[in-house]
Structure 1
Amino acid sequence: MTPGITPSSVVDRLRGMAQGASDRDQPDPGDRGDGTPVDEPPAAPSWRNALPFLVALGVVVVAAVGIGISYLVRPADDRMSTEAHVQHAINNAYTARNDLDYAKFRDATCAADLSSTTFPSESTFLGDNRRSFDENGHIVIPEISGVTVDGDRATAQVHWHFDEKSDQNQVTEMVVVREDGDWKVCTS
Protein backbone atom coordinates (compact mmCIF):
# COMPACT_ATOMS: atom_id res chain seq x y z
CA MET A 1 0.00 0.00 0.00
CA THR A 2 1.07 3.44 -0.55
CA PRO A 3 2.00 5.53 2.41
CA GLY A 4 -0.81 7.88 3.53
CA ILE A 5 -3.50 5.94 1.88
CA THR A 6 -5.43 3.71 4.12
CA PRO A 7 -8.20 1.38 3.12
CA SER A 8 -10.75 3.51 4.90
CA SER A 9 -9.62 6.63 3.05
CA VAL A 10 -9.94 4.81 -0.27
CA VAL A 11 -13.45 3.68 0.65
CA ASP A 12 -14.41 7.21 1.69
CA ARG A 13 -13.01 8.59 -1.51
CA LEU A 14 -14.88 6.00 -3.60
CA ARG A 15 -18.06 6.74 -1.71
CA GLY A 16 -17.66 10.45 -2.40
CA MET A 17 -17.04 9.81 -6.07
CA ALA A 18 -20.03 7.51 -6.29
CA GLN A 19 -22.24 10.01 -4.52
CA GLY A 20 -21.06 12.80 -6.84
CA ALA A 21 -21.77 10.65 -9.89
CA SER A 22 -25.20 9.74 -8.63
CA ASP A 23 -25.93 13.41 -7.95
CA ARG A 24 -24.92 14.18 -11.54
CA ASP A 25 -27.11 11.35 -12.85
CA GLN A 26 -30.19 12.82 -11.14
CA PRO A 27 -31.71 15.61 -13.22
CA ASP A 28 -32.01 18.97 -11.63
CA PRO A 29 -35.72 19.85 -11.35
CA GLY A 30 -34.98 23.27 -12.84
CA ASP A 31 -32.92 21.80 -15.69
CA ARG A 32 -34.00 19.91 -18.86
CA GLY A 33 -30.83 17.85 -18.76
CA ASP A 34 -29.22 19.81 -21.56
CA GLY A 35 -28.48 22.83 -19.41
CA THR A 36 -31.55 24.84 -20.42
CA PRO A 37 -33.91 25.78 -17.61
CA VAL A 38 -37.39 24.33 -17.47
CA ASP A 39 -40.24 26.86 -17.77
CA GLU A 40 -42.57 27.19 -14.90
CA PRO A 41 -45.73 25.13 -15.35
CA PRO A 42 -48.61 27.22 -16.70
CA ALA A 43 -50.80 28.82 -14.13
CA ALA A 44 -54.20 27.28 -13.59
CA PRO A 45 -56.88 28.85 -15.87
CA SER A 46 -58.76 31.66 -14.26
CA TRP A 47 -62.18 33.09 -15.06
CA ARG A 48 -60.46 36.48 -15.30
CA ASN A 49 -58.57 35.27 -18.36
CA ALA A 50 -61.88 34.34 -20.04
CA LEU A 51 -63.66 37.59 -19.13
CA PRO A 52 -63.07 39.39 -22.50
CA PHE A 53 -64.43 36.37 -24.38
CA LEU A 54 -67.46 36.15 -22.12
CA VAL A 55 -68.20 39.86 -22.63
CA ALA A 56 -67.92 39.46 -26.43
CA LEU A 57 -70.22 36.43 -26.33
CA GLY A 58 -72.75 38.42 -24.29
CA VAL A 59 -72.71 41.27 -26.84
CA VAL A 60 -73.29 38.82 -29.72
CA VAL A 61 -76.18 37.12 -27.90
CA VAL A 62 -77.85 40.46 -27.08
CA ALA A 63 -77.51 41.59 -30.73
CA ALA A 64 -78.96 38.32 -32.05
CA VAL A 65 -81.91 38.51 -29.66
CA GLY A 66 -82.55 42.12 -30.70
CA ILE A 67 -82.57 41.22 -34.39
CA GLY A 68 -84.86 38.26 -33.72
CA ILE A 69 -87.34 40.40 -31.78
CA SER A 70 -87.37 43.06 -34.52
CA TYR A 71 -88.29 40.40 -37.09
CA LEU A 72 -91.06 39.09 -34.88
CA VAL A 73 -92.49 42.52 -34.13
CA ARG A 74 -92.18 44.09 -37.60
CA PRO A 75 -94.57 42.71 -40.25
CA ALA A 76 -93.04 40.98 -43.26
CA ASP A 77 -94.36 43.64 -45.65
CA ASP A 78 -92.39 46.31 -43.77
CA ARG A 79 -89.18 44.32 -44.20
CA MET A 80 -89.58 43.95 -48.01
CA SER A 81 -87.79 46.32 -50.37
CA THR A 82 -89.74 48.44 -52.84
CA GLU A 83 -88.59 46.18 -55.69
CA ALA A 84 -89.90 43.16 -53.78
CA HIS A 85 -93.27 44.91 -53.31
CA VAL A 86 -93.45 45.54 -57.07
CA GLN A 87 -92.62 41.90 -57.84
CA HIS A 88 -95.16 40.76 -55.27
CA ALA A 89 -97.91 42.88 -56.92
CA ILE A 90 -97.13 41.39 -60.34
CA ASN A 91 -97.12 37.88 -58.90
CA ASN A 92 -100.53 38.51 -57.26
CA ALA A 93 -102.07 39.52 -60.61
CA TYR A 94 -100.77 36.41 -62.40
CA THR A 95 -101.66 34.13 -59.50
CA ALA A 96 -105.25 35.47 -59.58
CA ARG A 97 -105.44 34.55 -63.26
CA ASN A 98 -104.09 31.05 -62.58
CA ASP A 99 -106.51 30.55 -59.67
CA LEU A 100 -109.49 32.06 -61.57
CA ASP A 101 -109.94 34.39 -58.59
CA TYR A 102 -111.69 37.54 -59.82
CA ALA A 103 -111.71 39.25 -56.40
CA LYS A 104 -107.96 38.76 -56.03
CA PHE A 105 -107.45 40.01 -59.59
CA ARG A 106 -109.42 43.18 -58.78
CA ASP A 107 -107.37 43.67 -55.58
CA ALA A 108 -104.15 43.45 -57.60
CA THR A 109 -105.33 46.03 -60.19
CA CYS A 110 -105.01 49.83 -60.01
CA ALA A 111 -108.05 52.13 -59.68
CA ALA A 112 -107.57 53.58 -63.19
CA ASP A 113 -107.90 50.11 -64.75
CA LEU A 114 -110.84 49.16 -62.52
CA SER A 115 -112.78 52.22 -63.70
CA SER A 116 -111.90 51.64 -67.36
CA THR A 117 -114.64 50.44 -69.71
CA THR A 118 -112.24 47.77 -71.01
CA PHE A 119 -111.76 46.13 -67.60
CA PRO A 120 -113.23 42.62 -67.84
CA SER A 121 -116.36 41.62 -65.99
CA GLU A 122 -116.19 38.58 -63.74
CA SER A 123 -117.78 36.31 -66.36
CA THR A 124 -115.40 37.54 -69.09
CA PHE A 125 -112.40 37.14 -66.76
CA LEU A 126 -113.42 33.60 -65.79
CA GLY A 127 -114.23 32.56 -69.37
CA ASP A 128 -111.02 33.95 -70.90
CA ASN A 129 -108.73 32.54 -68.22
CA ARG A 130 -110.45 29.16 -68.07
CA ARG A 131 -110.12 28.82 -71.86
CA SER A 132 -106.44 29.85 -71.71
CA PHE A 133 -105.81 27.38 -68.89
CA ASP A 134 -107.48 24.54 -70.80
CA GLU A 135 -105.44 25.25 -73.95
CA ASN A 136 -102.06 26.19 -72.42
CA GLY A 137 -101.96 25.35 -68.72
CA HIS A 138 -100.94 27.69 -65.91
CA ILE A 139 -98.91 30.82 -66.43
CA VAL A 140 -95.37 30.34 -65.09
CA ILE A 141 -93.16 33.31 -64.19
CA PRO A 142 -89.54 32.21 -63.87
CA GLU A 143 -88.21 35.76 -63.57
CA ILE A 144 -89.18 39.37 -63.05
CA SER A 145 -86.27 41.61 -64.04
CA GLY A 146 -85.43 45.21 -64.75
CA VAL A 147 -87.53 46.63 -61.92
CA THR A 148 -87.29 50.41 -62.08
CA VAL A 149 -89.02 52.50 -59.43
CA ASP A 150 -89.72 56.21 -59.89
CA GLY A 151 -91.68 57.47 -56.90
CA ASP A 152 -95.10 55.81 -56.89
CA ARG A 153 -94.67 54.27 -60.34
CA ALA A 154 -92.57 51.28 -61.37
CA THR A 155 -91.93 49.18 -64.44
CA ALA A 156 -90.66 45.62 -64.70
CA GLN A 157 -89.94 43.01 -67.34
CA VAL A 158 -92.01 39.87 -66.67
CA HIS A 159 -90.58 36.72 -68.23
CA TRP A 160 -93.35 34.14 -68.50
CA HIS A 161 -94.63 31.12 -70.38
CA PHE A 162 -97.46 28.63 -70.15
CA ASP A 163 -96.51 25.42 -68.37
CA GLU A 164 -97.61 23.33 -71.36
CA LYS A 165 -95.64 25.54 -73.76
CA SER A 166 -92.43 26.11 -71.84
CA ASP A 167 -90.46 26.63 -75.06
CA GLN A 168 -92.55 29.72 -75.94
CA ASN A 169 -91.14 32.29 -73.53
CA GLN A 170 -92.72 35.72 -73.45
CA VAL A 171 -91.50 39.03 -71.99
CA THR A 172 -94.07 41.61 -71.03
CA GLU A 173 -93.36 45.06 -69.62
CA MET A 174 -95.65 45.73 -66.68
CA VAL A 175 -96.48 49.02 -65.01
CA VAL A 176 -97.12 48.98 -61.28
CA VAL A 177 -98.34 51.97 -59.27
CA ARG A 178 -98.56 52.64 -55.54
CA GLU A 179 -102.08 53.49 -54.34
CA ASP A 180 -102.78 54.08 -50.66
CA GLY A 181 -99.48 52.35 -49.76
CA ASP A 182 -100.16 49.20 -51.84
CA TRP A 183 -98.60 48.40 -55.21
CA LYS A 184 -101.09 47.52 -57.97
CA VAL A 185 -100.68 46.36 -61.57
CA CYS A 186 -101.82 48.99 -64.06
CA THR A 187 -102.02 49.07 -67.86
CA SER A 188 -101.65 52.84 -68.07
Structure 2
Amino acid sequence: MTKSDERRSSAGVGRSKRRRLPVWVTVVLVLIPCLLLGALIWGGSRMSMDEPESVAPIPTDEQIRTLIANAFTALGAGDYGTFDALQCRENRSAETPSPDAPGVEALRGVKLDNVDGITVNGDTATAVTHHHVDSAPDKPLSETVALRMEDGHWTLC
Protein backbone atom coordinates (compact mmCIF):
# COMPACT_ATOMS: atom_id res chain seq x y z
CA MET A 1 0.00 0.00 0.00
CA THR A 2 1.32 3.41 -0.87
CA LYS A 3 1.27 6.41 1.35
CA SER A 4 -1.44 8.06 -0.71
CA ASP A 5 -3.60 4.92 -0.33
CA GLU A 6 -3.04 4.99 3.42
CA ARG A 7 -4.06 8.60 3.61
CA ARG A 8 -7.23 7.93 1.69
CA SER A 9 -8.16 4.95 3.83
CA SER A 10 -7.26 6.67 7.12
CA ALA A 11 -9.18 9.82 6.11
CA GLY A 12 -12.28 7.74 5.70
CA VAL A 13 -11.92 5.99 9.06
CA GLY A 14 -14.74 6.90 11.45
CA ARG A 15 -16.74 8.69 8.82
CA SER A 16 -19.95 7.42 7.50
CA LYS A 17 -20.60 7.79 3.88
CA ARG A 18 -23.08 10.64 3.34
CA ARG A 19 -25.02 10.92 0.22
CA ARG A 20 -25.72 14.36 -0.98
CA LEU A 21 -29.34 15.20 -1.72
CA PRO A 22 -30.16 16.13 -5.25
CA VAL A 23 -30.37 19.89 -5.75
CA TRP A 24 -34.09 19.82 -6.56
CA VAL A 25 -34.88 18.12 -3.24
CA THR A 26 -32.89 20.75 -1.32
CA VAL A 27 -34.67 23.55 -3.17
CA VAL A 28 -38.08 22.03 -2.41
CA LEU A 29 -37.25 21.49 1.27
CA VAL A 30 -36.10 25.11 1.67
CA LEU A 31 -38.55 26.80 -0.69
CA ILE A 32 -41.83 25.30 0.58
CA PRO A 33 -41.41 26.38 4.25
CA CYS A 34 -40.31 29.84 3.10
CA LEU A 35 -43.38 30.16 0.88
CA LEU A 36 -45.68 28.99 3.67
CA LEU A 37 -44.13 31.39 6.16
CA GLY A 38 -44.39 34.25 3.67
CA ALA A 39 -48.04 33.45 2.98
CA LEU A 40 -48.82 33.45 6.71
CA ILE A 41 -47.06 36.76 7.26
CA TRP A 42 -48.60 38.37 4.18
CA GLY A 43 -52.06 37.02 4.99
CA GLY A 44 -51.84 38.21 8.60
CA SER A 45 -50.73 41.68 7.56
CA ARG A 46 -53.49 41.83 4.95
CA MET A 47 -56.08 41.13 7.63
CA SER A 48 -54.86 44.10 9.66
CA MET A 49 -54.92 46.34 6.55
CA ASP A 50 -58.49 45.44 5.64
CA GLU A 51 -61.27 47.80 6.55
CA PRO A 52 -62.37 47.42 10.14
CA GLU A 53 -65.51 45.43 10.69
CA SER A 54 -68.45 47.71 10.23
CA VAL A 55 -70.47 48.54 13.27
CA ALA A 56 -74.14 47.75 12.94
CA PRO A 57 -76.24 50.89 12.73
CA ILE A 58 -78.34 51.70 15.76
CA PRO A 59 -81.98 50.82 15.05
CA THR A 60 -84.28 53.81 14.56
CA ASP A 61 -86.48 52.88 17.54
CA GLU A 62 -83.43 52.87 19.81
CA GLN A 63 -82.23 56.23 18.43
CA ILE A 64 -85.65 57.75 19.12
CA ARG A 65 -85.87 56.28 22.63
CA THR A 66 -82.38 57.60 23.41
CA LEU A 67 -83.25 61.08 22.12
CA ILE A 68 -86.43 61.23 24.20
CA ALA A 69 -84.64 59.91 27.30
CA ASN A 70 -81.93 62.57 26.88
CA ALA A 71 -84.57 65.27 26.47
CA PHE A 72 -86.40 64.21 29.64
CA THR A 73 -83.13 64.00 31.56
CA ALA A 74 -82.25 67.54 30.47
CA LEU A 75 -85.70 68.85 31.36
CA GLY A 76 -85.68 67.14 34.74
CA ALA A 77 -82.29 68.64 35.55
CA GLY A 78 -83.25 72.11 34.34
CA ASP A 79 -80.66 71.89 31.53
CA TYR A 80 -82.62 73.82 28.93
CA GLY A 81 -79.61 74.43 26.70
CA THR A 82 -79.27 70.67 26.12
CA PHE A 83 -83.02 70.28 25.72
CA ASP A 84 -83.10 73.08 23.16
CA ALA A 85 -80.25 71.48 21.17
CA LEU A 86 -82.31 68.27 20.88
CA GLN A 87 -85.15 70.10 19.13
CA CYS A 88 -85.55 70.65 15.41
CA ARG A 89 -84.27 73.94 14.02
CA GLU A 90 -87.67 75.61 13.83
CA ASN A 91 -88.43 74.92 17.50
CA ARG A 92 -85.11 76.03 18.96
CA SER A 93 -85.20 79.07 21.19
CA ALA A 94 -83.39 82.23 20.27
CA GLU A 95 -82.11 82.20 23.84
CA THR A 96 -82.12 79.72 26.70
CA PRO A 97 -85.15 80.23 28.94
CA SER A 98 -84.37 81.52 32.39
CA PRO A 99 -85.08 79.28 35.38
CA ASP A 100 -87.73 81.83 36.42
CA ALA A 101 -89.73 81.58 33.18
CA PRO A 102 -93.36 80.43 33.51
CA GLY A 103 -93.73 76.64 33.56
CA VAL A 104 -90.01 75.97 33.89
CA GLU A 105 -90.21 74.87 37.52
CA ALA A 106 -92.95 72.34 36.69
CA LEU A 107 -90.70 70.68 34.11
CA ARG A 108 -87.79 70.36 36.52
CA GLY A 109 -89.17 67.23 38.22
CA VAL A 110 -90.38 65.40 35.11
CA LYS A 111 -89.30 61.73 34.82
CA LEU A 112 -89.65 59.45 31.80
CA ASP A 113 -91.15 56.03 32.53
CA ASN A 114 -91.44 54.54 29.05
CA VAL A 115 -91.53 55.25 25.32
CA ASP A 116 -93.72 53.20 23.00
CA GLY A 117 -95.92 53.56 19.95
CA ILE A 118 -92.99 54.61 17.76
CA THR A 119 -94.12 55.15 14.18
CA VAL A 120 -91.58 56.16 11.53
CA ASN A 121 -92.60 57.61 8.19
CA GLY A 122 -89.47 58.57 6.25
CA ASP A 123 -87.83 61.57 7.93
CA THR A 124 -90.64 62.07 10.43
CA ALA A 125 -91.82 59.98 13.35
CA THR A 126 -94.06 60.00 16.38
CA ALA A 127 -93.64 58.32 19.74
CA VAL A 128 -95.76 58.11 22.86
CA THR A 129 -94.03 59.07 26.10
CA HIS A 130 -95.24 57.87 29.48
CA HIS A 131 -93.91 60.04 32.29
CA HIS A 132 -94.69 61.59 35.65
CA VAL A 133 -93.69 64.57 37.71
CA ASP A 134 -91.87 64.08 41.01
CA SER A 135 -94.54 66.08 42.82
CA ALA A 136 -97.27 63.70 41.55
CA PRO A 137 -95.74 60.25 40.94
CA ASP A 138 -99.15 58.54 41.20
CA LYS A 139 -100.52 60.57 38.26
CA PRO A 140 -98.99 59.14 35.07
CA LEU A 141 -98.96 61.35 32.01
CA SER A 142 -98.76 60.41 28.33
CA GLU A 143 -97.95 62.55 25.34
CA THR A 144 -97.42 61.94 21.65
CA VAL A 145 -94.14 63.49 20.57
CA ALA A 146 -93.33 64.49 16.97
CA LEU A 147 -89.80 63.92 15.67
CA ARG A 148 -87.88 64.86 12.54
CA MET A 149 -84.63 63.64 11.04
CA GLU A 150 -82.24 66.58 10.56
CA ASP A 151 -78.61 66.28 9.50
CA GLY A 152 -78.67 62.52 10.10
CA HIS A 153 -80.05 62.78 13.67
CA TRP A 154 -83.53 62.57 15.12
CA THR A 155 -84.78 65.78 16.73
CA LEU A 156 -87.89 66.69 18.72
CA CYS A 157 -90.22 68.71 16.54
TM-score category of the 2 structures, normalised to the smaller one: 0.5 to 0.7
Checking the alignment, whether the CA contact within 8 Å between 1:156 and 1:175 is kept in structure 2 is yes
Q: Tell me which residue corresponds to 1:127.
A: 100
Task: Give the paired residue count.
Answer: 105
Select the residue among 147, 152, 155 that pairs with 1:176.
147
SS of structure 1 residue aligned to 2:75: helix
Q: Tell me which residue corresponds to 2:109.
A: 138
Distance 1:175 1:79 in 2: 22
Q: CA deviation at 1:86?
A: 1.1
State whether structure 2 residue 78 is matched by structure 1 residue 100. Answer: yes
Unmatched segments (≥5 aa) in structure 1: 1-68
Q: Which whole-Å deviations, capped at 9, do the CAs of 1:123-177 have from their partners, x for residues lacking one?
A: 34x22465226xxx62111111100001110101101111231111111000011
Say which one has the larger Rg: 1
State whether structure 2 residue 68 is matched by structure 1 residue 90. Answer: yes
Over 3 Å counting, the alpha-carbon distance change for 1:89 and 1:160 in structure 2 is: same
Q: CA deviation at 1:120?
A: 7.3
Checking the alignment, whether the CA contact within 8 Å between 1:140 and 1:161 is kept in structure 2 is yes
Q: Tell me which residue corresponds to 1:158.
A: 129
Normalized against structure 1, the TM-score is what?
0.49
Normalized against structure 2, the TM-score is what?
0.58
Distance 2:136 2:60 in 1: 32
Unmatched segments (≥5 aa) in structure 2: 1-51
Moved over 6 A (4+): none
